[in-house]
């Protein structure tokens, strides 16, 4: 791959998918494309570039997305954020809706859901609250740009490391075991709707609205600041006033958006879209004590370290529980 070839891909991937590959990532782009070029019998990177660019069916673009995206994920990833979701944010939203006699519905978005572990984890956590949610309409939308990962997500079959943080009790209640494979139970699957969506497409983004909670964890790390700003504006608009926004615990909105307020929960800092009348649903500042994870390391750098320490702590606790 020549430098010029790389720059063509760099600009194309940024413009179309928001991903920014710095020049030291040239080898990565090369490695990921070479097998596909072999399959197509295409000999040069430049020819492959034009093959993708002028394929109006977008088939090859979708294949390229399968190749260049990083899809690492796992069930119950970053426990402190999930505890804050299940034990703090969710009960608070439910109580507020009950108090305001609002519609008994809960709408959650897992944006950049990869192979489905994140939305299924959220579905399991919501299911744990099912008694208090009787008669409620819950909807989890899970989107990704890669059709390949969405295929795996819809299948809902997992094995190995991705299950490492799932407790035996949750495994037993929410999965059907088949040898070394664990299939997510139909009751959990039915709570999640998977869809293909490019987060760098403002038109697609603008069709989303009314979410109570949005998760977009470990997705924007691959985007340029310019793309992040546009995307975070889109998420802000897609959230209903009073809603919450989770990003990866090592990510930050510092320098990206000032629209959100930070809500300090015991287990995590979560971005919050305030209601216009601040007296109505001001986020409760539950605790500013140590022992919280952070959703924005830049906004609370020290807390980022605490988040990692908590991770470690929960792993130690799990290991102890298994003994």
Residue 119 near residue 110, CB atoms below 8 Å: yes
Q: How far is the CB of 253 from ligand SAM (least distance, A)?
A: 16
As measured in angstroms, the least distance from the Cβ of 154 to ligand SAM is: 14
Q: Which residues pair with 214 in a beta bridge?
A: 109, 245
> 126 or 199: whose CB is closer to ligand SAM?
199
Among 13, 17, 64, 142, binds ligand SAM (CB under 6 A): 17
One symbol per residue from 213 to 252: x for binding ligand SAM (CB under 6 A), - otherwise; what is it?
Answer: ----xxx--x------------------------------
* Residue 77 falls in which region: left (phi positive, over 0), alpha (psi -120 to 50) or beta: beta
3-state secondary structure of 135: coil
Determine the Cα–Cα distance for residues 153 and 226; give it in Å rounded to an integer.
29
Minimum separation from the CB atom of position 144 to ligand SAM (A): 5
The residue among 264, 224, 230 whose CA lies nearest residue 244 is 264
CA pair distance 51, 41, nearest whole angstrom: 12
Joined together, the tokens standing for residue 215 give 């998760």
Nearer to ligand SAM, 66 or 96 (CB): 66
How far lies 215's CA from each of 100, 103, 298, 309, in Å? 24, 22, 18, 22
Q: Are 9 and 49 in contact (CB under 8 A)?
A: yes
72 is a contact residue toward ligand SAM (CB under 6 A) = yes
CB of 223 to ligand SAM, least distance (A): 7
Provide, rounded to whole angstroms, the least separation between the CB of residue 87 and ligand SAM. Answer: 20
Stretch 247-306 residues interacting with ligand SAM (CB under 6 A): none
Least distance between ligand SAM and beta carbon 198 (Å)? 5
Strands 181-184, 175-178: parallel, antiparallel or unpaired by DSSP? antiparallel
* Contacts of ligand SAM in 147-166 (CB under 6 A): 149
CB atoms within 10 A of CB 290: 10
Q: Out of 69, 84, 165, 293, point to the residue binding ligand SAM (CB under 6 A).
A: 69
Please provide the distance, in angstroms rounded to a whole number, between the alpha carbons at the two ends of the chain: 52
Indicate whether 26 belongs to the interface with ligand SAM (CB under 6 A).
no
Nearer to ligand SAM (CB atom), residue 220 or residue 263: 220
Report yes or no: 199 and 18 within 8 Å, Cβ to Cβ: yes
200 contributes a contact to ligand SAM by CB under 6 A: yes
Contact positions vs ligand SAM (CB under 6 A):
17-19, 69-73, 77, 112-114, 118, 144-146, 149, 197-200, 217-219, 222
């Amino acid at each position: 791959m020549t430098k010029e070839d790389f720059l063509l891909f760099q600009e194309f991937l940024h413009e179309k998918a928001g991903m920014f590959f710095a020049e030291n990532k040239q080898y990565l782009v090369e490695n990921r494309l070479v097998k596909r070029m072999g399959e197509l019998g295409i000999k040069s990177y430049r020819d492959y570039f034009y093959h993708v660019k002028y394929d109006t069916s977008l088939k090859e673009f979708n294949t390229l997305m399968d190749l260049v995206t990083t899809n690492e994920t796992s069930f119950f990833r970053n426990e402190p954020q999930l505890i804050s979701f299940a034990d703090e944010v969710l009960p608070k939203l439910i109580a507020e809706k009950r108090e305001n006699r609002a519609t008994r519905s809960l709408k959650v978005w897992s944006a950049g859901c990869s192979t489905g572990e994140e939305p299924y984890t959220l579905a399991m956590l919501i299911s744990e609250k099912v008694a208090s949610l009787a008669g409620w309409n819950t909807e989890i939308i899970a989107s990704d740009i890669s059709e390949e990962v969405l295929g795996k997500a819809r299948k809902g079959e997992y094995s190995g490391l991705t299950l490492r943080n799932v407790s035996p009790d949750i495994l037993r209640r929410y999965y059907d075991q088949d040898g070394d494979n664990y299939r997510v139970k139909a009751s959990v699957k039915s709570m999640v709707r998977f869809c293909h969506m490019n987060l760098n497409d403002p038109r697609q983004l603008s069709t989303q609205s009314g979410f109570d909670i949005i998760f977009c964890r470990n997705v924007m790390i691959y985007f340029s600041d310019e793309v992040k700003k546009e995307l975070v504006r889109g998420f802000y608009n897609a959230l209903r006033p009073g809603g919450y926004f989770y990003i990866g615990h090592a990510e930050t909105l510092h320098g990206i958006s000032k629209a959100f307020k930070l809500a300090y929960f015991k287990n995590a800092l979560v971005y919050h879209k305030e209601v216009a009348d601040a007296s109505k649903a001001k986020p409760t500042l539950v605790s500013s004590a140590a022992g919280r994870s952070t959703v924005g390391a830049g906004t609370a750098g020290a807390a980022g370290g605490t988040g990692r320490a908590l991770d470690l702590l929960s792993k130690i606790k799990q290991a102890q529980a298994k003994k």
